Structure 1
Amino acid sequence: MDLPQPLVRGRLVSRYKRFFADVVLDDGSPLTAHCPNPGAMLGLNAPGLPVWLSKSDDPKRKLAHTLELVEVDGGMVGINTMHPNRLVAEALAADALPEVAGYSSHRREVKYGVGSRVDFLLEDPARAPCWLEVKNCQAAYNARLKPDHKVWLEVKNVHLMRTPGLAEFPDCVAARSLKHLRELEAMVAEGDRAIVLFVVQRGDCEAFKACHELDPAFARGLDQAADAGVEVLIYACDVAISGLKISHRIPWAR
């Protein structure tokens, strides 16, 4: 997935009110940028960190610039939570995710559960439907599907790394994500296939775990969902100024 070019570099002054970031560009110009990330951004919100911003020419936007990347620990980290679904859509179109390859149709934001929408519904005339919520998958589960079963896929963005090489989710209380897990469990109970896919917007992580310290309810919920048959997949990304790409699967340190 290409990022809007050219990106401009600066240093973070302050990230506040969830969706605002004050930045001083390398040429000394101060500006306020849109921060497309409702999470805590732990480890990525310290004043002075180098950041990269895109710029929109849309005259209707109140803030022309968008915070896209943060430089930390010697590498780039994507913080835009709008990107994981786009990255997964791109990977699905290229059949780059072996666990869910081969579906001819990929529908997004399909209603399911109680007032929720699953990130992707994968369909093919010769195969059972697959529902994908971006989070961890076990391809072996697919062999147990019946012709009328469905697969739900839910996508979650990950960028927290407190221990070198270990990605964590969430970075704050994630009640909505826990609700998604419960709904995925219900799909499995009905005989469907349900998948949660975690997209790690950084390339320096070798494993993943749920962050029990910051949200014990979600960490317990992920274990429970997996035990109930919800599949869990974690994929890391290659991140550069030019763009991002889902690259390889990493293990769940359960």
Structure 2
Amino acid sequence: MHFEPALQPATLIKRYKRFLADVITPDGRELTLHCANTGAMTGCATPGDTVWYSTSDNAKRKYAHSWELTETQQHHWICVNTLRANQLVREAIEAQRIPELSGYSNLSAEVKYGTENSRIDLMLQAENQPDCYIEVKSVTLLHAGQGFFPDAVTLRGQKHLRELQSMAEQGQRAVLFFAVLHSGIESVSAAHHIDPRYTELLTQVQKKGVEVMCYGAALSAEGIRLTERLPLVTKSLNG
């Protein structure tokens, strides 16, 4: 994924009301950016960090600029635009850069499924194979080199785990895909210290056949690309 037009830098003043952030540009202008990330964004929105933002030419938008990346004062790169995760995974699948998800002839997005009024992020299909349901999650919470998901209690995420388990029990292929969009993260774990129920469900669904994949990414102001598979570890913050 390449950013066209190129992203522009600014210094973060503050994030507020979940969807907004104020920044100051190198030439001293103050801008308000739209923030597509509704999560806690712990460690991703520290005042003084460098923000990289895109600009839309859509005249109907109230805020023309969107917060895409954070370059932290510790020199980590983070993709904070959660809309990018699905795009990156789709791009990588179509480019055959995820061997575990190759061999399918059709890819669909946002397909209704399950019993809890859900939409699967991506579905892969091929003749004479079970359908493959892929739920994508963006991982950006870092602690001591390890990434954690979620960064806040997520009833929606719990629902997605139940839906994936149901698909696996019906003989379909079910995949939870962690897109690790923080350059400092080297492994991924369920955040038991934040959402213990999510951790319990993750352990349960894996036993029922749900696959969990974690992939890191190369991030820069020029673009983002999923790279290598990272380990999933069953370890809480307290060990």
Counterpart residue identity of residue 112, structure 1: Y
What secondary structure is seen at the aligned counterpart in 1 of 2:96?
Answer: coil
Counterpart residue identity of residue 159, structure 2: K
User: Is 1:236–1:250's contact at 8 Å kept on the other side of the alignment?
Assistant: yes
- Residues 146-225 of structure 1 mapped to structure 2, 5 A cutoff: 149-163=130-144, 165-225=145-205
- How far off its partner does 1:85 sit? 0.7
Q: Which residue of 2 aligns with 1:246?
A: 226
Counterpart residue identity of residue 91, structure 2: E
Q: Which residue of 1 aligns with 2:237?
A: none
User: Is 2:142–2:184's contact at 8 Å kept on the other side of the alignment?
Assistant: no
- Residues 49-128 of structure 1 mapped to structure 2, 5 A cutoff: 49-72=49-72, 73-113=74-114, 114-125=116-127, 127-128=128-129
What secondary structure is seen at the aligned counterpart in 1 of 2:151?
Answer: coil
Give TM-score, length-normalised by structure 2.
Answer: 0.94
Q: Distance in 2 between matches of 1:216 and 1:121?
A: 28
- How far off its partner does 1:151 sit? 2.2
Alignment of 1:13 onto 2:4: no
- How far off its partner does 1:5 sit? 2.3
Alignment of 1:233 onto 2:234: no
Q: Distance in 2 between matches of 1:186 and 1:225?
A: 9
Q: Distance in 2 between matches of 1:214 and 1:77?
A: 20
The unaligned stretches of length 5 or more in structure 1 are 129-148
**CA RMSD for the aligned pairs?**
1.1
Q: Distance in 2 between matches of 1:182 and 1:156?
A: 15
Q: Distance in 2 between matches of 1:182 and 1:158?
A: 20
Number of equivalenced pairs: 232
Counterpart residue identity of residue 234, structure 1: C
User: Is 2:7–2:221's contact at 8 Å kept on the other side of the alignment?
Assistant: yes
- Residues 128-139 of structure 1 mapped to structure 2, 5 A cutoff: 128=129
Q: Distance in 1 between matches of 2:31 and 2:61?
A: 14
- How far off its partner does 1:152 sit? 1.2
Alignment of 1:24 onto 2:24: yes
Q: Distance in 2 between matches of 1:123 and 1:225?
A: 22
Counterpart residue identity of residue 185, structure 1: Q
User: Is 1:43–1:162's contact at 8 Å kept on the other side of the alignment?
Assistant: no
What secondary structure is seen at the aligned counterpart in 2 of 1:77?
Answer: strand
1:120-163 superposed Cα distances (whole Å, 9 cap, x missing partner): 111123x41xxxxxxxxxxxxxxxxxxxx332111111111022
Counterpart residue identity of residue 39, structure 2: G
User: Is 2:18–2:35's contact at 8 Å kept on the other side of the alignment?
Assistant: yes
User: Is 1:184–1:195's contact at 8 Å kept on the other side of the alignment?
Assistant: yes
The unaligned stretches of length 5 or more in structure 2 are 235-239
Q: Which residue of 1 aligns with 2:45?
A: 45
Q: Which moved more, 1:152-161 or 1:202-211?
A: 202-211
